[in-house]
Amino acid sequence: MVQGAMREAECVLLGGGGRMVKLQYWQEFKRAMSYMKPRAWTYGIGIVGNNVIAALGLNILMAFIYKDIVNAAVGSDMPLLLRSIGTAFALLAVSSLLCTILTYRYNASIRYTMTDIRQQTFRHVQRLPMSRFENTHSGEMLSRMTNDLNTIEHLYADSLGGIIYAVVVGFAAAIAMFALNWPIALFAIALGILTFYVNTRFADSFRKINDEIQRGTGKMTQALSDVISGVPLVKMFSLGGVIIRKYDQTNEDVAGLSTKRTRKYAYLDSVNSVLGSLSFVGIVIVGGAMALKKGTDFGTVMAFIKLQGNIGFMFSQAGNLATDVQRVLAGANRVFELLDDPVEREGSERSLLGDEKKAIELDGAVFRYGEGAPALDRLSLAVERGQTVALVGPSGGGKSTVVKLLLGFYPIESGSVKYWGRSGQSYSLSEVRDMIAYVPQEAYLFDGTIEENIRYGNMDASREAIIAAAKAANAHEFIQEQPDGYLTAIGERGSRLSGGQKQRIAIARAFLKNAPILLLDEPTSALDAESEKQVQDALRMLAKGRTVILVAHRLSTVEHADRIYVIDRGQSVEEGRHEELIRKQGLYERLYRLQLKDAAG
Ligand SMILES: Nc1ncnc2c1ncn2[C@@H]1O[C@H](COP(=O)(O)OP(=O)(O)O)[C@@H](O)[C@H]1O
Ligand SMILES: [Mg+2]
């Protein structure tokens, strides 16, 4: 985010001298075009052909035909008149047909290329490390993946097409004018340069407004994603008003800016049309005078009027197109920044589980989130195959951090993590995650059916295996009571299920995954007593024959653990079995006594 802001500051700084901005974005332009490589020919021929035909066939050549038509009419030359009208229709028909075919072809290549870019972006985002998601607003990322990504499409289609068209039509018109009558041509080009000058006066302020609108749109996406992902919280704390006001404000700002931009465009349009009319009148007067003195004919004057419009178009669009390209490339740049973010480390060579007894070992592990005090401070712990080890201790002590480290969400700073007696580094991240089933405090469910959600544990599982997993997880009964059984859609994040039901679906998923290591992070702390019991039963089944690390808030649930670690301020301050720790009369015993007193009322 900081990086993005800096880039923006740079653009504004450089915005003063248009040429420097263009240089700055040259890399982005080349990169955007590189995605088109597999379809370069179709796209290139399509976009160039379409615009060249539109420019020459429908404008420049048409001007010459106008000339013949007018001269034929003035000179009452019937055969010439008919021939010219026929040619005009033929030209119109052929050009339109070719343009339609070419447009269809190059639009198809744009669609495929955009699909590639979207796919690549989506894949990349999934491989970004956990920390990237914690340090960035999800809306900011969404905005890059939607608003900004769409600007690339605009570049391929409208911006480049517009430039090709304006350049071809402008230059061809200039050449045609000189071929027809050079004194009038000089006069017409002088008018064009005047138009260009007037239009560039506006370009800078358009760029500024566009930048602000882009930023505002990004903020709106952020506000939206805040509201949507935080609905329960927003409702719980009656934050609706605050959020709505924030959103309204940005929305109004953007609307205000858009209105301002529209007003400016309208103003520029009317200036351009006045300039156009003046040019028209000027050419009629100059050309008419020459025609009367037999310096030229009326047909040529007619052709000039048409060509003048083309030159005027090039000059009036030059500024707009430059602004447009800059805006679009700034958007592309934000997408490329995202694509350049480093991803998690890639896998090493395939490796099998060792058959060591030590399933998991942390030795002197140090880890910190960003700057500041370490969240884990030389923490050591060991879990043997088949054991259940509990992590307990005050909130904020670092228990969840241990779990997340074991899942490979973060790399440690120093110390070591070992699985089956081998360094964590020697496994690829997907191998690490394949050998672990993880049940967090609140199950994460995806939009879709119950069956699909269980299947995420093992994409190859059969229907029968899914049902067996659900039965083992105490979930089969309530699933059958759902309106469509296993095929019931559960709503986004399982909003149509209770906490306990969601948790049992997550447990069924873990059953299906059948991983040797099980990480449970306060899996029942969000549940009421009734669902807690059902989930506990399911978990007990799941834990059988596996190596388990259980983070527990309620100490009564860990009394039977093979070993208990008390984690406080990132360190393991006590360890042992329940009875040993009670006898020790330390932190564990104190926490235990407090909870007993609470339970007693
Ligand atoms: N994503 C994060 N970014 C920054 N700090 C974090 C993050 N997650 C946890 N912490 C901090 O790390 C410490 C340990 O947190 P955590 O492992 O969640 O504790 P526990 O699970 O024992 O309650 C706390 O001080 C917490 O504020
Ligand atoms: Mg925690």
List, for residues 88-137, the tens digit of each pLDDT value.
Answer: 999 999 999 999 999 999 999 999 999 999 999 998 998 888 888 877 77
Minimal CA–CA distance to 56: which of 418, 411, 310? 310
The token pair at 336 is 């490329």
Strand partners, 366: 414
Ligand 1 atom with the smallest distance to the CA of 397 is 22
The token pair at 25 is 């974005």
Q: Which ligand is nearest to the CA of 396?
A: 1
For 565, the enclosing helix (H) or strand (E) is strand 563-568
Question: How many C-beta atoms surround the C-beta of residue 89 within 10 A?
Answer: 11
The mean pLDDT of the chain is 86
Mean pLDDT of the 74-86 span: 91
Minimal CA–CA distance to 413: which of 116, 36, 131? 131
Distance 396 CA to ligand 2 centre (A): 7
When mean pLDDT is compared across 17-21, 322-326, 457-461, the lowest value belongs to 17-21
For 495, the enclosing helix (H) or strand (E) is none
Minimal CA–CA distance to 413: which of 456, 457, 379? 379
Q: What is the pLDDT of residues 260-291, one digit of tens each?
A: 989 988 888 888 888 888 888 888 888 888 88
pLDDT for residue 414 is more than 90:
yes
CA atoms within 13 Å, Cβ hemisphere of 370: 5
Q: What is the pLDDT of residues 487-510, one digit of tens each?
A: 999 887 777 888 899 999 999 999
The 3-class SS string of 537-564 reads HHHHHHHCCCEEEEECCCHHHHCCCCEE
How far CA 4 is from CA of 26, 170, 465, in Å, comes to: 18, 37, 47
Minimal CA–CA distance to 548: which of 437, 412, 413? 437
Distance, CA of 192 to CA of 313 (rounded, Å):
8
Confidence at residue 402, expressed as pLDDT on a 0 to 100 scale: 96
Distance, CA of 527 to CA of 19 (rounded, Å):
62
Distance, CA of 152 to CA of 21 (rounded, Å):
17
Three-state SS at 121: helix
Structural domains in the chain, CATH included, are 21-340 (1.20.1560.10), 358-600 (3.40.50.300)
pLDDT-above-70 percentage for the chain: 92
Please name the residue whose Cα sits nearest to atom 9 of ligand 1: 401
Output DSSP code: residue 489.
Answer: B
The token pair at 165 is 């068209």
DSSP E strands, 275-375: 358-367
Output DSSP code: residue 147.
Answer: I
Distance, CA of 141 to CA of 137 (rounded, Å):
7
Q: Which ligand is nearest to the CA of 398?
A: 1
Residue with tokens 């930023």: 215
Ligand 1 atom with the smallest distance to the CA of 134 is 1
Print burial letters for 519-553: b (CB count within 10 Å at least 16), e (below 16). Answer: bbbbbbebbeeebbebbeebbeebeeebbbbbbbb
Please name the residue whose Cα sits nearest to atom 20 of ligand 1: 396
Q: Decide if 510 contacts 474 (C-beta within 8 A).
A: no
Ligand 1 binding pocket (C-beta < 6 A) is 134, 369, 375, 395-401
CA 352 to chain centre: 36
